[in-house]
A and B are shown apart, each in its own frame.
Chain A
Amino acid sequence: MQVPAPFEYERATSVDHAISLMERLGSTSRLIAGGHSLLPMMKLRLASFDYLIDINDLHDELGYIEAGPGEVRIGALTRHRELLESATLTAAFPIFADAERVIADPIVRNRGTLGGSLCQADPSEDLSAVCTALDASCVIRGPGGAERVLSMEEFHVGPYETAVGDGEILVEVRLPVRPGCGSSYEKVERRAGDWAVVSAGAAVWLDGDVISDARVGLAAVGPNTTGIPEISTALRGQTPSESLFEQAGAIAARSCEPATDQRGSADYKRHLADELTRRTLRRAVERARS
């Protein structure tokens, strides 16, 4: 029987209350959202805290998907299942539904949240790759209501490490809406509901038949979820073609840093990074055109 080490449980009634609890309790406290990354780590004693602050009561405040003209805004406590089932999100960014369908299993998806996924910053975690591809920004709120807005590159500091400081909470993810967008996600897993061997997400923006911008995010192939600016540079201003996708795949394979483990060899994972990059770009372009 695995149980976490002892801690005190607190329940936040609002975002400001959560922040004031964290301010008072300091670095010995941690937020718990869905708990589906935090509790497994605490059971294995990979993490332990004196206080857990439950933010699930903030779902009214932090569980939403709102489409505006310039951006789609998603509250940090929006659950995987809500992301999967959102028609708004699927219409704007099909990459989300592609990814959510293969994140964990339906029951885990009932609990896990967008904010928890991003803040966990597990190198194999899928939504960071999705948000990287979509050029998302993360809104972090701190004491006194002060907010910072960070790009995904700034947000992810390292494996299991983000820019969210003590006394701060991720409140929202913003996805810019630009015309001509197509997006897609692919993951290779060993069995249903498993973490990725490798996964890739791509977003392209077409202006007529020219790629005005393109972004690729990979998961499980390095110390952190990897965005690859070199691919964006190579694709911008080009007309989509099979040889262009091949070029992007080759850059992805060369830029990532996979490790050999029980999920596969580093060579195999590089091969997947290449192939999945090509497939997701191809599909993203098809979707942008349709």
Chain B
Amino acid sequence: MQVTMTVNDVEVTREIEGRLLLVHFLRDVLGLTGTHSGCDTSNCGTCVVWLDGEPVKSCTVLAAMAGGHQVRTVEGLAKGAELDPVQQGFMQCHGLQCGFCTPGMMMTARALLNRNPDPSEAEIREAISGQICRCTGYATIVRSVRWAAVHEANAAAAVTETTESPEAGEIDNAGQPAGSVA
């Protein structure tokens, strides 16, 4: 069968088998290997991509089901050469070690921040509760997401140039002063 979908803003059409899973379509057909495949059983979350803006485990979605829909992968996270604040956060706060879980974690984090720009540590942990990291112990991942939240709030405050002092400057979970995020 033929499937057409938009992946990272580019429309793609391919001849596929009905049983092809979205994760394999992205990795093996399109060569977008940023999306990882870990458990095959919808448990580890390394395969998380967005379907119409919402995180999904792409090992449990048929490629055919994405036909006519918008898919975004980690390759579509940066804006050109400028890394997304979530990507910067993972660099700044050592949110990764081996990096295997990282693409899925970042896609979930970005979706969370889109809905909730100022998530608490508990809300971040809840958002990534369906994803497994074998390296970091999650503390640095949570810190990375907070970094991104604060960074974005500060950037937005800088743009509006309000006279009030930006309240969003604290990084409570990271224990870092507000100034370090610029």
Contact = CB atoms under 8 A, between A and B. Distances in A.
A108 B130 contact: yes
Nearest to A43: B40
B54 interface: yes
Contacts of A32: 62, 65
Contact of B19 (A3, A54, A192): A3
Given A1-B40, A2-B40, A193-B130, A9 B56 contact: no
B19 to A, nearest CB: 5
Given A4-B19, A9-B18, A110-B54, A35 B62 contact: yes
Given A1-B24, A1-B40, A3-B24, A105 B60 contact: no
Contacts of A3: 19-21, 24
Contacts of A108: 42, 57, 60, 130
B55 A107 contact: yes
B77 interface: no
Interface string A226-267: 000000000000000000000000000000000000000000
Contacts of A8: 1, 18
A106 B119 CA distance: 15
Contact of B130 (A2, A9, A52, A106): A106
Nearest to B104: A107
A52 B18 contact: yes
Nearest to A109: B130
Contacts of A107: 45, 48, 55-57, 108, 130-131
B171 interface: no
Interface string A33-55: 00110011001000000001010
B54 A35 contact: no
Contacts of B42: 36, 40, 108
A194 to B, nearest CB: 9
A192 B129 contact: yes
Nearest 5 pairs between A and B by C-beta? A105-B130, A9-B18, A2-B40, A9-B64, A192-B129
Interface of A: 1-9, 11, 32, 35-36, 39-40, 43, 52, 54, 56, 104-108, 110-111, 192-193
23 contacts: A1-B24, A1-B37, A3-B20, A4-B19, A6-B18, A7-B19, A8-B1, A11-B67, A32-B65, A35-B60, A39-B62, A40-B42, A54-B65, A105-B131, A107-B55, A107-B57, A108-B42, A110-B54, A110-B55, A111-B57, A111-B60, A192-B129, A192-B130
